[in-house]
Amino acid sequence: MTNRQIVITSLPEGALTPDHYELRETEMPVPADGEALLRVILMSIDAANRAWLQGATYRAAVKAGDAMPTYAICEVVSSNSPRLAPGDIVAAEATWSDYITAAAHKVQKLPHVSPLSNLLSVYGIAGKTAFHGLIGVGNAMAGETVLVSAAAGSVGGYVGQIAKALGCRVVGIAGGPEKCKWVVDELGFDACVDYRAPSLFKQLRAACPDGVDVYFDNVGGTVLETALATMNERGRIVCCGAISQYDTSAPTGPRNLPGLVVTKRLRMEGFIVMDFAHNDAKATRALQQWVASGQIKVFEDVVDGLENAPAALIGLLAGDNKGKRMVRVSPDPVRN
């Protein structure tokens, strides 16, 4: 029995391309003592994957020759640890592979939700990142205006829907008229402006007549620079990601910073979803309530096949996904 694995053969200098990856057949991994053999079911495809290739972040840098790392939902095939039994569903720091081994104490057991994809979208990284960022970092309150970039993306869509459920006015930023329409019609945002169209600042001023109290930034760069100019005094900028800055070797910075941070008394704060793990149960309970009430709709963007993972990531960086993108490597297990 063989395994398949996708390796990053060289690190990108400029834009990431399929040539940076290679699919290799490898031997089936054998779990050591305390480890389990895991079948990869779904792999999370995130803009942060690209940032990992730029150097050390909140995790060690990825090196040429490494199997591409990913966060994945897996099923336990066999286990050399009393912590895990065959059939258990776990979240693991995995690689782009059919099978991996992992130390049992480093994986997280998950409930048998159906479909499992919800554990990567609304009840997974995407939904929790949106919840913790908007509430724990941004302190969004009813009556305030919340602006969200990458509004059609995995996190942005939940940020806006949660903000609506809280009673905020919600304005999105997305690329192209079709996506903007989808954000308003399907996700229920009050407005969505197209950052590819002219005069982003004028569009934002029109869409946010009372200014912006919370800006949830997934993109950085010139969109952040423009959003800064729309902030109200004592506004909060939730720094979640900077997708505009990952796929390049020439990053740009907001030229009006820190000037506006001082004069408007803004707070910019970065976070990682794991920082708020102590509040995950609270987030899950709230998200379940909003899904049950219909205030949150779940949109998933599932790409089939391990071999399509590089294209799925490259496409995400170009903004071609709507909702949480993931790659299905193998089917959900059938439950009785």
What residues make contact with a second copy under the rule CB under 8 A? 51, 57-58, 217, 220, 224-225, 237, 239-242, 245, 251-272, 275
- For residues 186 and 147, give the distance between their C-alpha atoms in angstroms, rounded to a whole number: 17
Where are the alpha helices (H) located in 143-218, listed in sequence order? Answer: 154-166, 177-185, 200-207
Question: Which of residues 11 and 103 has its CB atom nearest to a second copy in the complex?
Answer: 11
Question: Which of residues 31 and 220 has its CB atom nearest to a second copy in the complex?
Answer: 220
Question: Which of residues 181 and 265 has its CB atom nearest to a second copy in the complex?
Answer: 265
The number of beta carbons lying within 10 Å of the beta carbon of residue 85 is 12
Q: How far is the CB of 58 from a second copy (least distance, A)?
A: 5
Q: How far is the CB of 272 from a second copy (least distance, A)?
A: 6
Question: Which of residues 78 and 256 has its CB atom nearest to a second copy in the complex?
Answer: 256
**Residue at token pair 């998200």:** 287
Q: How far is the CB of 198 from a second copy (least distance, A)?
A: 22
Instruction: Report how far apart, in Å, the C-alpha atoms of 298 and of each of 141, 204, 267, 273 are.
Output: 23, 26, 30, 19
Q: How far is the CB of 54 from a second copy (least distance, A)?
A: 8
Q: What is the DSSP letter of 258?
A: T
Question: Which of residues 19 and 233 has its CB atom nearest to a second copy in the complex?
Answer: 233
Question: Which of residues 55 and 115 has its CB atom nearest to a second copy in the complex?
Answer: 55
- For residues 328 and 309, give the distance between their C-alpha atoms in angstroms, rounded to a whole number: 9
Q: How far is the CB of 245 from a second copy (least distance, A)?
A: 6
Smallest CA-to-CA distance from 171 within 216, 234, 130, 117 is with 216
Smallest CA-to-CA distance from 218 within 202, 201, 242 is with 242
- For residues 209 and 184, give the distance between their C-alpha atoms in angstroms, rounded to a whole number: 18
Q: How far is the CB of 225 from a second copy (least distance, A)?
A: 7
